[in-house]
Amino acid sequence: MTTVFPPVARATRRMTLFLAALALLGLVSLARPAHADLTLDITRGNPQPIPIAIPSFQGDNPADGQLGADIAGVVSNDLERSGLFRPIDPAAFIQDPAALRPIPRFADWKLINAQALVVGNVSARPDGQTHVEFRLWDTTAGKMLTGVAYNSPAVNWRRFGHKIADQIYQRITGEGGYFDTRIVYISESGPNLRRIKRLAIMDQDGANNHLLTNGHSLVLTPRFSPTRQEITYLSYAQGTPRVFLFDILTGQNESLGDFPGMTFAPRFAPDGAGVIFSLSNGGGSEIFTMDLSTHHVNQITQTGAIDTSPCYSPDGKYITFNSDRGGTQQLYRMNADGSNIQRISFGTGRYATPVWSPRGDLIAFTKFVGGNFSIGVMAPDGSGERILTNGYLVEGPTWAPNGRVLMFFRQTTDDNGGRGGSTRLYSIDLTGANEREVITRQDASDPAWSPLLQ
């Protein structure tokens, strides 16, 4: 396998909380009357996006100034795409961004309806690293809401932006951020009858796209390890379809091992120490687990039916999967040892690809009924089914690490002459709002969201 992926810059970043020092600055403005924090309740449907001003981060020299403008652009783009923030056009700014420290002139920002203001600074450190710090201000209360500083090589400038966007998102919505993450997916090209598929990885916003395989072998369904820079996926490289493990940092790529049948539908256990997958056997497909350190294999289901797309609950106590044991494809839940199997989907149609939310409160799925596919969520006991989106083909939901946003792929049909059709990635809010295409150079499918990067 050809790898063209540079290792992630090692964890030289040292996050320093400047909160204590910066809070002192914030106190200056606390002479005002007590005022509720600027927050956004996103547990209700369709909240109004918060107007936020994100001036270019300032630097002491042109290079740092450019870096500051680029980082502010990443922050702005992340927050805008969440659908929960409305970055204000910098052309409307009144106060010169160079004059924002130590305390902004809040009246100038309230005048343009900016409820929140992000002030950032970029400087070079003697050790060659770049230092980026920011403060988030509530312009109405004249109060600092949070402030964090990061050190890292300048080459990580996009990650500075993502980490800062995560802090802002978390402070204002009360939910964990999800911007400093990556997506592993299948990059597709070529005609429908001879599709070329490659393993690919990119940042959550589509930047830093890299192809990890050369397209000589069919590859499908990559999934991130919850604990390591590692991917499990399906490859036809050895002829027989096999589950593989791919180490992103070293490029090491190996099969889980030889089995009597096809191994497929892999996912990591929540502790990253094992993989759960399907093994075909005599026409049926059963669910197995493998401990990655001992290579011990455990059979979980045994019915002769098609049992596949297994996924653990985040606490590792349960497994959800789809099976046609009852006649058609439906969702089931069982204990991690295979006991106490219960069907949880009872609506009309076929249900597939159950994926447990990282928060544990929901299971996302693909549904096929009446000639259309949809993506939905339900509680782990099957109650409260809600459809988020549908189309000719939508499939394969994956959760952002905060359990708030999902990604999936959508195929639109061509004109039967191969023109006009596409397969693309989309993100969508848990409420079904804010569906956005995730821009990829080529067609894309089978997205899998990484955990928050370290």
Residues that bind another protein (CB under 8 A): 191-193, 195, 197, 218, 220-221, 234, 239-241, 261-262, 264-265, 278, 280, 282-285, 306, 308-309, 322, 324, 328-329, 350, 352-353, 366, 368, 392-393, 395-396, 413-414, 416, 418, 446
The tokens for 62 are: 């042109």
Nearer residue to another protein within complex by CB, 95 or 221: 221
Locate 161 and state its tokens.
């932006």
Peptide bond connecting 102 to the previous residue in cis, omega within 30 degrees of 0: yes
For residue 203, give the nearest of 224, 180, 222 by alpha carbon: 180
- Give the closest residue to 350 by CA, choosing from 384, 311, 313, 306: 306
Token pair 């204990």 in the structure block, residue: 335
Q: Which is nearer to another protein, 18 or 236 (CB)?
A: 236
- Residue 111, CB half-sphere, CA atoms under 13 Å: how many? 9
Quote the least distance from Cβ 329 to another protein, whole Å: 6
Neighbours of 153 (CB within 10 A): 15
The residue among 77 and 232 lying less far from another protein, judged by its C-beta, is 232
Nearest to 225 by CA among 261, 209, 205, 249: 249
Q: How far is the CB of 372 from another protein (least distance, A)?
A: 10
Residue (of 74, 87, 95) closest to 164 by Cα position: 74
Minimum CB–partner distance for residue 233 and another protein (Å): 12
- 204/308 with CB nearer another protein: 308
Q: Which is nearer to another protein, 86 or 424 (CB)?
A: 424
Least gap, CB of 431 to another protein (angstroms) = 24
Nearer to another protein, 51 or 261 (CB): 261
Residue 431: strand, helix, or coil: coil
In the complex, minimum distance from the CB of residue 1 to another protein, in angstroms, rounded to a whole number: 19
The CB-of-225 to another protein minimum distance in angstroms stands at 19
CB of 391 to another protein, least distance (A): 12
Pairing of strands 330-335, 342-343: antiparallel
Q: Which is nearer to another protein, 95 or 285 (CB)?
A: 285
Tally Cβ neighbours within 10 Å of residue 303: 14
